[in-house]
Amino acid sequence: MVKKILITGASGLIGGILIEHLSKNPNYDIYGIDKHIGLSIRYQLENIKTSKEQQPILPSKEKFYVCDITDRDKLSRIIQDNQINIIIHLAAVLERQTIDEINRVNCDGTSILFDIATKQEHVELIIFSSSVTVMFGYLENEPYSLLAKNIKPLQPLKKVTINDPPMPWRGDPLREAYSKSKIYAEELAKQYSSIQANKIKFVGARLGMINTIDDVEYYSCDWAIKSTYCSYRDLCQFIDRVLENRSKLKNFQIYFVSSNNDYGWIDMDNCREDLNYVPQDSARWN
């Protein structure tokens, strides 16, 4: 049976990567929403040159909707009218926005989406984008702080696991607000998954650093970033593994998602055990 997948934040960088990948699979029918049809702001933030003609990768016109994630009525109609089975929730604003906008989109929007989805009989699974930055506070402490200073550790680093307490970015109020918005989404998903009548499975993906240019060497000067690098191929593999194993999943699970990087300090053992996720790419300390 073909599954209908709705991707929120469809015009964003990760949305485009997944739309291009999943659209090739005849088992999936891809829909998308976003509040605009322009290129992701990530291109501007990373100073990537783009042309006026360059457009995001989107589903076909009849399957793409211009919709703000906080527009409850319109979002509900889209999910209901198209009988969506799976939601990949990527809609979010980055840490360069205001704290109010981060809270409105990342927190309020996620809350509205989860509330709508859990009232629909046909929705089976929500994969939502969290971020490795919920743990970036660990980079302020030894031995992880060596990476932030671009100093090569003398031995492998003890892995931070999904059971360790979140420790978000600090020092920058916007970065901290962004990381906390992702922690909020995880806690909200956990709450919904524990409701007895709930039939939806929630998968939180603590994504590593996914860049506008899919080349780790382009960002070679910062090992705090490189140690959590995630290639497009590994991102797509993770999503494939979740979709293929959805019947075996728990009601709620968090996974770190990155490539197989030197001095990687986030633990992906549960990702390998549950999903058979084996990263194909890597960042190497030359």
pLDDT at 50: 54
14, 236 contact by CB (below 8 A) = no
How far is it, in rounded angstroms, from Cα 234 to Cα 57? 19
> Letter for the amino acid at 238?
F
**pTM for this model (two decimals):** 0.93
> Letter for the amino acid at 130?
S
Mention the CATH class of domain 3-275.
alpha beta
pLDDT at 130: 97
How far is it, in rounded angstroms, from Cα 118 to Cα 193? 9
How far is it, in rounded angstroms, from Cα 177 to Cα 190? 20
pLDDT tens readout for residues 90-137: 999 987 789 999 999 999 999 999 999 999 999 999 999 999 999 999
pLDDT at 45: 53
Burial level of 141, CB count in 10 A (0-12/13-18/19+)? exposed
Low-confidence ranges of the chain (pLDDT < 70): 38-58, 219-221
Could you give the percent of the chain with pLDDT greater than 90? 76
Token pair, residue 109, equals 């929007």
231, 257 contact by CB (below 8 A) = no
How far is it, in rounded angstroms, from Cα 281 to Cα 46? 22
> Letter for the amino acid at 69?
I
pLDDT at 170: 81
> Letter for the amino acid at 98?
T
Q: What kind and span of H or E run contains 34?
A: strand 28-34
Q: How wide is the angle at C-alpha 39 spanned by C-alphas 36 and 41, nearest 5°?
A: 95
22, 86 contact by CB (below 8 A) = no
Beta strands in 60-157 (DSSP E): 64-66, 86-89, 125-131
